[in-house]
Amino acid sequence: MIHQKILGLLLASSFLLRAGGQPADAPDAAPAGRRNRNAERNPTEQKTEEPKKEAAAGKEKEKEPKDELTETTNTVTIGGAEVKYKATAGTMIIKDEESKPLVSFFFIAYTSLENTNLSERPITFAFNGGPGSSSVWLHLGLLGPRRVYLKEDGGMPPPPFRLVNNDQSLLDQSDLVFIDPVSTGFTRTVPGEDPSKYHGVDQDLRSVGDFIRRYTTRYNRWLSPKFLIGESYGTTRAAGLAGYLEDSYGLYLNGIALVSAVLDFGTISFNPGNDLPYIFYLPTETATAWYHKKLAPDLQADQNKALSEAEKYALGPYTVALMQGANLPAAERASVVKELARLTGLSEDYIDRANLRVRASQFFKELLRKERLTVGRYDSRITGQDYNSVGESAEYDPSYTTALGPFASTFNDYIRRELKFESDLPYEVLTSKVQPWDMGQARNRYLDIAENLREAMTHNTYLKVFVANGHYDLATPYLATRYTFDHMGLPPDLRGNVSMGYYEAGHMMYLNTPSRVALKEDLARFLRSSLPPK
């Protein structure tokens, strides 16, 4: 055994040393004894590798993504009064607890230059939905100091498009922060970080919640009254954030505004065995038929009467009929067919062949089939033309394409020319790159986040909620929203904390000028009512 150890040492020595006794990886090195003596006299020579490592580490540090911000000042006229503000546009790097960069979050903030008492001045965080949407819609359509110019009814003007002063901006009531979630707008994960890690219900709440916490800390807004405004899936996000911010950071909100809300996805998902959507879409289909003059004379003469009848029938006889399934007696079935035709403008034959259940996608196509037109999903007042008038679904949503061009064009000009922020990245207005979306909180098939909001409201009994609904919204119908809140289980003393508004437009009701004016008044009143007394 001893001989084997000696042989192993000799073999190792022959690999490391040359004939002259020098290490093989250092041909110019001095003999070992001399090198050691020199090292003792000059310790710096012994550490020649350390500065190299430090230099390399410094270069890596330089490569780390950094916050990139621009600041500009401007004014907006709101209600005849001039409001001076500072606009901050750029990215904030979100890091983990080990200071590893994760996400470059893009945001645009508007803060008053006159109302600077941060303990009294509200701050509102706003975002849209999708999932996969940037915040451009609420930003340039409703809340920000500049607004996309559209026709009075929300229709698209001829290009090129332009921005105008937004007389209905919420900046007179609150500072505003518009957030683009991961993979939307200019928000991206840092190189090497997988973006799919952020594409899901819980993942999204964590990342957006972390941004809100960091912004609140960095800009000293912990004692400011705080609000969230979300649209579409952004209402799902806002409801979840109410609980997440409270549980994770002790950050309590004063109010949440939900524009075209969906908290319980079972109310809008047309799947076999789920009859709820057919019930809740009925009044919106009645409103659409009324707008396009497809109802019987008695209903056509009075929209309020038409909607009231549709709501009562949907929650009464129609619900009872659908719940019976195949056991529905023939006479009752015939009665339902007749009444649905009266309330929707569709033919009795079509409703009968659809087994009393007309999906929204079928309604888009069928209502104006004879006119060879398709009604919009986001706003059923708007129509478009498909390649042909057959088929069971539309080629595109005319209410979306009408808005996309004006918003995308004006934002890309505005961010560079007026806000002075430069980026070669494409601004992702509405992207499919977030798919597949992890619906991790889904209970029994459908995501339902209403319980999260109920818990947050019971923990913070001052939290108020305002819900904006469009009568012509065939994406998130207003009766589904009302049903969700009626079934949240809020105690009686908290039900008064929820209020709703209804507008004669669609999903983005603010594109319609009268609706935008009314919505601004409602939001301003809501913010003021949610503030503590002075």
Cis ω before 160 (30° cut-off from 0): yes
Region 498-504: what's the mean pLDDT? 98
Last residue of a domain, one of 374, 399, 424: 399
Domain that residue 181 falls in: 68-266+404-530
Could you tell me if 481 and 470 are in contact, meaning their C-beta atoms sit under 8 angstroms apart? no
Residues 219 and 89 in one domain: yes
User: How crowded is the C-beta side of 356, counted as CA atoms within 13 Å?
Assistant: 24
Residues 218 and 80 in one domain: yes
In the prediction, which pLDDT does 235 show? 98
Residues 262 and 285 in one domain: no
In the prediction, which pLDDT does 391 show? 86
- Would 300 be classed as within a structural domain? yes
In the prediction, which pLDDT does 393 show? 87
Place of tokens 């020319």: 417
Residues 469 and 491 in one domain: yes
| Cα-only R_g, the chain | 31
Picking from 201, 269, 241, the residue whose alpha carbon sits closest to that of residue 477 is 269
Place of tokens 């701050």: 123
**Residue 259: in which H helix or E strand, if any?**
strand 255-261
In the prediction, which pLDDT does 445 show? 82
Rounded CA-CA distance 463/471 in Å is 26
- Would 482 be classed as within a structural domain? yes
Rounded CA-CA distance 438/261 in Å is 20
- Would 51 be classed as within a structural domain? no
Residues 241 and 99 in one domain: yes
Residues 122 and 253 in one domain: yes
In the prediction, which pLDDT does 14 show? 34
In the prediction, which pLDDT does 440 show? 83
Rounded CA-CA distance 58/43 in Å is 23
Region 245-264: what's the mean pLDDT? 98
In the prediction, which pLDDT does 29 show? 34
At 422, is the secondary structure helix, strand, or coil? coil
Choice among 23-37, 126-140, 298-312, 489-503 with the minimum mean pLDDT: 23-37
Residues 259 and 373 in one domain: no
Token duo for residue 104: 């470059």
- Would 341 be classed as within a structural domain? yes
- Would 303 be classed as within a structural domain? yes
Total count of domains within the chain? 2
CATH code at 514?
3.40.50.1820
Residues 149 and 283 in one domain: no
Residues 291 and 373 in one domain: yes
Q: How confident is the model at residue 60 (pLDDT cuts 50, 70, 90)?
A: low
The rounded mean pLDDT for the chain is 90
Residues 202 and 325 in one domain: no
Contacts for 81 with CB less than 8 Å, ≥ 6 apart = 172
Q: Which one has a higher pLDDT value, 14 or 414?
A: 414
**Residue 496: in which H helix or E strand, if any?**
none
pLDDT higher than threshold 80 for residue 12? no
Picking from 4, 47, 182, 32, the residue whose alpha carbon sits closest to that of residue 103 is 182
- Chain segment 398-431, per-residue pLDDT in tens: 999 999 999 999 999 999 999 999 999 999 999 9
- Would 34 be classed as within a structural domain? no
- Would 8 be classed as within a structural domain? no
Percentage of the chain beyond pLDDT 90 is 85
- Chain segment 167-212, per-residue pLDDT in tens: 999 999 999 999 999 999 999 999 999 999 999 999 999 999 999 9
- Chain segment 205-250, per-residue pLDDT in tens: 999 999 999 999 999 999 999 999 999 999 999 999 999 999 999 9
Last residue of a domain, one of 355, 372, 399: 399
Residues 412 and 492 in one domain: yes
Last residue of a domain, one of 399, 422, 451: 399
Rounded CA-CA distance 275/320 in Å is 11
- Chain segment 348-405, per-residue pLDDT in tens: 999 999 999 999 999 999 999 999 999 999 999 999 999 988 988 899 999 999 999 9
Picking from 93, 75, 68, the residue whose alpha carbon sits closest to that of residue 169 is 75
Q: How confident is the model at residue 59 (pLDDT cuts 50, 70, 90)?
A: low
- Chain segment 81-108, per-residue pLDDT in tens: 999 999 999 999 999 999 999 999 999 9
- Chain segment 266-322, per-residue pLDDT in tens: 999 999 999 999 999 999 999 999 999 999 999 999 999 999 999 999 999 999 999
- Would 335 be classed as within a structural domain? yes
Could you tell me if 152 and 513 are in contact, meaning their C-beta atoms sit under 8 angstroms apart? yes
In the prediction, which pLDDT does 18 show? 32
Could you tell me if 500 and 509 are in contact, meaning their C-beta atoms sit under 8 angstroms apart? no
Residues 281 and 254 in one domain: no
